[in-house]
């Protein structure tokens, strides 16, 4: 957003040299005498319009139309939003320039650093700048902008003069983060990190103002081991003591709340206008999550923008938080799918923060209870160092894991065929004498998948061919896709009308456990359960049934954890099946007391041996390393970088003909797409069609074939091609794909092409 000698328009070949701007527009409107040209990023979707556009600045708007503010402009036949990226004295545009119609707000909301980061992210994912800015800057709320800033509050109270205490204009973009950290907090940070190899050194470098990059495999926080929220709070304090800010991105609001509590316990208060006015030099934090609601979220965003809060914690969008003098960027639990943006161009938080570190030179910490294959690749490449505990510490600070596979339960005879084997029943019975017991079930609901009671044929909806489910003991079967009721369902194979369970959900599991353990309190935690997601349960004997990711915290830890239906977690085909299964199990197991306090974790079911063995050893880094070795041999991500191109066969072939692959690149396919699972894939990647606007193709139900409506009418079978290049040429691939997308958009070609860089799956 700083002034450049030439705009993007000037860099195009064949354009004339910069020319002076007249003092008035074509309509007679007086223009600004100083820097009368504004270069804008306008919010338009077509890929070929992903560049800056020159507009004239009316004299009446010159003072407000500064870099970073929102404006309204005329683009073609419509009014669109935009951001002022820079002001200039001349333009190379040979035609008449349009004037800015309106400055939406004089408050600059887009800093030069965030604007540059958004451009880097767009280029990395072959997306557009306007799409990324929609992710980075929250919607405006005028009444929040009108609230007094901390500086205005202090001036009104007489604490400072109009020009600041020292008589100079205060610099809101460079807050003083050098306030001393309390001695007790500094001492506690040693306790949190000293159990890890390299932990104390990492904190020491943060305090010294260095920028280390690390991948941290955290231990469960029970007993004398500090949990990950306390460790992250101490890392943020160490960064603040070195005079810099921190951004911590977490998967969901529940994790944000846990970290917020740890920060308060470490002596860092949450931001408030009063605190910012009374103690402007003391570090404080703000949360940035969608769950806050529009008003608090925008208020917290402005607090970070104005330098009133030096620590920002939040979910995906917080990766773009405008923290001044950023010293540390943290991605916690990068395996979690919530870190993958749902909107174009679908960036991952881990990659956004890596690009931010490349841009600003800040420190990076990729941490989690498990380790992703991508994080392991960062360690292998030398880009980051690992922070881990030694094996003896891991054994004592994690629960004792027992895998109850078919081999183990066969010793029990016929009783071993039950969903809850005798060994698990005994462990739960004993655990209820000493505290709460956690039972994780991979599926929500009552009976999410049912089949014919006689021939075992899967029960499907007659309207859309979707799977039928039962939502209660006496409920009518209902389609999981279209919601249609199937009260008169009859098996098409044997004409039977009865149904049996194929998969058992958390609600039915809670019902069964209540009968098996009469007198025990049963709690259910899950997004679809009646009580919703529980954040915490008391340290009293109870059975807590939870779906993955909804496990509540017990203050003293669970006495026993049981992971039911383990085979379900590893039964589907995917690039990251084993990694995700281990992640779900370890996340639940981390809430169980360590082995030295008697904690036990039981894995029930014949899951895949690789993640099962990794769980028994509590060795997520080992699993990630083995997976990475296999992928290097097979040329699969993250050993290579891939992009998927999806659409009808003719459109895909035409698009591929325009893409120049970097050296070492190859194309796999195109091949016909398998039938989509609509319930598991509610969203699609952006498509470029006749308008060039990102779109979501309409879902097609299984049974009708995978197809897409064409512009000329009719259905065309979808195919997918995979482009694969060495990691070192990944950005070249993104650049070539962006160029091909721009051509397709400009030519308004029929059909839809979906291009996704770094897709999660190849099929």
Binding site feature residues for Zn(2+): 452, 455, 461, 464, 479, 482, 491, 494
Q: Is 78 helix (H, G, I), strand (E, B) or coil?
A: strand
Q: Are 410 and 212 in contact (CB under 8 A)?
A: no
Closest C-alpha to 374, from 343, 348, 345, 338? 348
**What distance lies between CA 219 and its chain's CA centroid?**
22
Task: State how far the alpha carbon of 166 is from the alpha carbons of 274, 310, 619, 702, in Å.
Answer: 22, 22, 56, 71
Q: Are 123 and 738 in contact (CB under 8 A)?
A: yes
* Sign of the Cα pseudo-torsion (376, 380, 385, 389, in order): positive
Residues annotated within the binding site are 452, 455, 461, 464, 479, 482, 491, 494
Q: Are 621 and 369 in contact (CB under 8 A)?
A: no
**What distance lies between CA 3 and its chain's CA centroid?**
33
Angle between helices 349-360 and 373-380 (to 10 degrees): 30
Helix segments in 599-661, DSSP class H: 609-617, 620-634, 649-658
d(CA 645, CA 637): 16
- Beta strands 70-75 and 78-88, pairing class: antiparallel
Closest C-alpha to 110, from 244, 271, 1, 249? 1
Vertex 270 angle, CA 266 and 271, to 5°: 140
Burial class (CB in 10 A: 0-12, 13-18, 19+), 187: exposed
- Structural element, H or E, at residue 647: strand 640-648
User: What would you report as the CA-atom Rg of the chain, rounded to the nearest whole angstrom?
Assistant: 28
d(CA 700, CA 708): 8
């Amino acid at each position: 957003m700083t002034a450049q000698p030439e705009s993007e328009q000037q860099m195009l070949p064949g354009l004339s040299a910069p020319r002076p701007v007249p003092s008035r527009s074509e309509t007679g409107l007086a223009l600004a005498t100083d820097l009368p040209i504004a270069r804008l990023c306008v919010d338009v979707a077509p890929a070929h319009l992903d560049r800056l556009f020159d507009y004239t600045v009316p004299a009446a708007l010159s003072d407000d139309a500064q870099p970073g503010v929102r404006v309204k402009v005329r683009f073609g036949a419509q009014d669109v939003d935009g951001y002022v990226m820079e002001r200039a004295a001349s333009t190379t545009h040979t035609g008449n320039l349009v004037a800015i119609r309106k400055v939406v707000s004089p408050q600059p909301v887009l800093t030069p650093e965030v604007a540059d980061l958004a451009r880097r992210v767009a280029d990395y994912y072959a997306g557009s700048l306007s799409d990324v800015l929609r992710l980075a800057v929250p919607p405006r709320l005028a009444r929040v902008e009108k609230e007094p800033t901390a500086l205005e509050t202090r001036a009104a109270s007489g604490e400072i003069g109009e020009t600041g205490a020292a008589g100079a204009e205060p610099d809101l973009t460079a807050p003083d983060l050098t306030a001393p950290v309390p001695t007790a907090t500094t001492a506690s940070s040693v306790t949190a990190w000293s159990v890890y190899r390299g932990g104390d050194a990492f904190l020491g470098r943060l305090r010294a103002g260095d920028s280390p990059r690390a991948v941290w495999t955290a231990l469960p926080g029970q007993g004398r081991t500090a949990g990950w929220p306390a460790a992250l709070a101490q890392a943020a304090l160490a960064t603040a003591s070195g005079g810099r800010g921190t951004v911590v991105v977490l998967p969901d609001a529940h994790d944000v709340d846990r970290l917020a509590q740890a920060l308060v316990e470490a002596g860092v208060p949450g931001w408030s206008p009063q605190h910012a006015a009374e103690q402007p030099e003391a570090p404080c934090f703000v949360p940035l999550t969608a769950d806050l609601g529009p008003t608090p979220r925008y208020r917290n965003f402005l607090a970070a923008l104005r330098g009133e809060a030096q620590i920002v914690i939040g979910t995906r969008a917080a990766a773009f938080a405008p923290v001044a003098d950023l010293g540390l960027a943290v991605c916690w639990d990068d395996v979690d799918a919530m870190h993958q943006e749902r909107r174009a161009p679908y960036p991952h938080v881990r990659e956004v923060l890596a690009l931010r570190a490349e841009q600003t030179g800040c420190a990076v910490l990729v941490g989690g209870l498990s380790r992703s294959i991508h994080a392991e690749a960062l360690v292998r490449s030398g880009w980051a160092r690992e922070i881990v505990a030694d094996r003896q510490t891991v054994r004592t600070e994690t629960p004792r894991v027992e895998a109850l596979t078919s081999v183990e339960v066969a010793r029990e005879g016929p009783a071993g065929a039950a969903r809850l084997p005798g060994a698990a029943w005994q462990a739960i019975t004993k655990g209820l004498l000493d505290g709460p017991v956690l039972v994780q079930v991979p599926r929500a609901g009552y009976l999410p998948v049912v089949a014919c009671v006689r021939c075992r044929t899967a029960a499907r909806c007659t309207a859309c061919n979707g799977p039928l489910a039962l939502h209660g003991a006496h409920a009518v079967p209902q389609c999981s896709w279209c919601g249609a009721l199937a009260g008169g369902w009859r098996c098409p194979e044997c004409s039977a009308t009865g149904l049996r369970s194929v998969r058992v959900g958390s609600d039915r599991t809670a019902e069964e456990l209540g009968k098996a353990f009469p007198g025990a309190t049963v709690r259910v935690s899950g997004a679809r359960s009646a009580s919703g997601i529980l954040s915490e349960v008391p340290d009293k004997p109870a059975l807590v049934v939870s779906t993955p990711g909804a496990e509540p915290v017990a203050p003293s830890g669970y006495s026993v954890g049981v992971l039911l239906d383990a085979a379900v977690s590893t039964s589907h085909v995917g690039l990251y099946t084993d990694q995700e299964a281990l992640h779900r199990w370890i996340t639940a197991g981390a809430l169980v007391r360590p082995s030295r306090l008697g904690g036990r974790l039981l894995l029930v079911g014949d899951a895949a041996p690789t993640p099962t063995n990794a769980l028994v050893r509590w060795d997520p880094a080992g699993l990630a390393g083995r997976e990475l070795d296999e992928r290097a041999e097979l040329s699969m991500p993250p050993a290579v970088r891939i992009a998927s191109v999806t659409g009808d066969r003719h459109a895909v072939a035409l698009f591929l003909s325009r893409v120049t692959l970097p050296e070492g690149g190859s194309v796999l396919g195109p091949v016909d797409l398998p039938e989509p699972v609509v319930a598991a894939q509610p969203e699609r990647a952006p498509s470029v069609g006749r308008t060039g606007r990102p779109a979501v193709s309409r879902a097609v139900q299984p049974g009708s074939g995978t197809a897409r409506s064409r512009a000329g009418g009719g259905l065309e079978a979808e195919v997918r091609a995979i482009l694969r290049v060495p990691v070192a040429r990944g950005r070249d691939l993104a650049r070539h794909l962006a160029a091909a997308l721009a051509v397709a958009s400009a030519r308004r070609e029929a059909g839809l092409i979906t291009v996704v860089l770094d897709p999660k799956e190849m099929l």
